[in-house]
Amino acid sequence: MDESRVTRRGLVLGSLTLMISGCVSGSQDGPPLGYNVFGRDPDNDSRLRRQEVAYDGGEPPGTIVVNTSERYLYFVEQGGRATRYGVAVGEEGLSFKGEATIGRKAEWPSWKPTDDMMQRKPRLMQYADGVPGGPLNPLGAAALYLYQDGHDTMFRLHGTNAPWSIGHAVSNGCIRLTNSNIVDLYSRAPVGTRVLVI
């Protein structure tokens, strides 16, 4: 994937999507008051920026660990290090917790809200037939599908067209990364990668 193209397209077209559709941004229907749609980049915030950090969690290299209370995803590296990404997590009661593996990967994935999502948030009924992959899709540039025992959990690690949500608990349960960060993680994590969500 061309990371520079993803970032530019995701920022411009994704911002337009926020203004016209509201997608799956949790209880908020758009950016917080005072947010500059074209100016805020979570990677400029040192707390949320992708960076290498010390890591002593005990998981083997190649494992993905998502700490939902910290709002960080760690890709465990060799030598007690990890790449840390800022993430948005599910609203209270909607987050996946436990162990899974990446069962499938997709670039510019299509998206369709689940029946549970539409029941909780009737405004999502407008997307009942699905949204094709591309910059206007709420799953962003890529998605890593979480499986347990060979079955899709319906939870994803995915990009977002709402970068302002990174660092918050606003999603319908999936883990969101900026489009540039999901592109980076997508390139590192093959199908079969172990994922631990705590």
Strands 175-176, 151-158: pairing kind = parallel
Given the residues 23, 151, 158, 168, select the one marked as catalytic. 158
Cα 117 to Cα 168: distance, rounded to the nearest angstrom: 19
Nearest to 23 by CA among 174, 147, 152, 149: 174
| Paired tokens of 131 | 């949204």
Given the residues 23, 151, 168, 174, select the one marked as catalytic. 174
| 23 is known as an active-site residue | no
| 168 is known as an active-site residue | no
Dihedral sign of CA atoms 129, 185, 44, 5 in order: negative
Close Cβ partners of 63 (under 8 Å, ≥ 6 residues apart) = 75, 76, 193, 194, 195, 196
Cα 185 to Cα 145: distance, rounded to the nearest angstrom: 13
Active site residues: 158, 174
